[in-house]
Amino acid sequence: MRFIVIALIFLFLSQSFALCVSSDIANLRIGPGQSFSVSLTVGKYTPLLEIGGEKGWYKVRYLDGSIHWVYNSLVSTRMKCVAVKTNKANLRTGPGTKFPFAAYQIADKYFPFKRINQKDDWYNLLDASGNKFWLHKSTLWRPQKVSTIKF
């Protein structure tokens, strides 16, 4: 009986995985295939949350909550990526407000980064051009693996 209950839980268990755009750009589409219209074009290191899939395509949720489809070769689960969720975020040269602003000073909303390190509540980040910065985690969105049980 216990085995049946556990089997039923796994049958209704749904998981979402964090994905990271690994190509320089990726066209997100309204459906799973190149015949579907492009709904959004995003850059390298854009984080996405995988919520489903079909025929080599991932159904994903973007930072703003919108749903799109992306081809599997354009994303990776091997990197940790984040995007700015606030209107603007102050880029720092080190992990804290006592460190000076970085050369670019500000990152706009939705700007993507690859996470390379963490110190306390600060993330050391890399942009697609190879520049390194520090941002406080409160300014960032990072998709996380989520498990839910459906009834």
CATH number 2.40.50.140 is the correct assignment for the domain at 2-76: no
Indicate the domain borders of the chain: 2-76, 81-141
For residue 14, the model assigns a pLDDT of 43
Tokens coding 65: 């909550």
Q: Is 123 helix (H, G, I), strand (E, B) or coil?
A: strand
Fold agreement (2-76, 81-141): yes
What does the DSSP 8-state code read for residue 33? S
Q: Which of 90, 79, 81, 66 is nearest to 138 (CA)?
A: 90
Q: Read off the pLDDT of residues 121-145 as tens digits, 9 standing for 90 and up.
A: 999 999 999 999 999 999 999 987 6
Q: Which residue has the tokens 């390190």?
A: 117
* Residue 77 to residue 68: CA distance in whole angstroms: 17
pTM for the whole structure: 0.83
Strand ordering across the sheet containing 122-126: 101-108, 88-92, 132-136, 122-126, 112-119, 81-84, 140-141
User: For the chain, which ranges sit under pLDDT 70?
Assistant: 1-16, 145-151
Domain spanning 81-141 has what CATH number?
2.30.30.40
Q: Read off the pLDDT of residues 24-34 as tens digits, 9 standing for 90 and up.
A: 999 999 999 99
Tokens coding 148: 């839910």
Burial class (CB in 10 A: 0-12, 13-18, 19+), 48: buried
Burial class (CB in 10 A: 0-12, 13-18, 19+), 85: middle
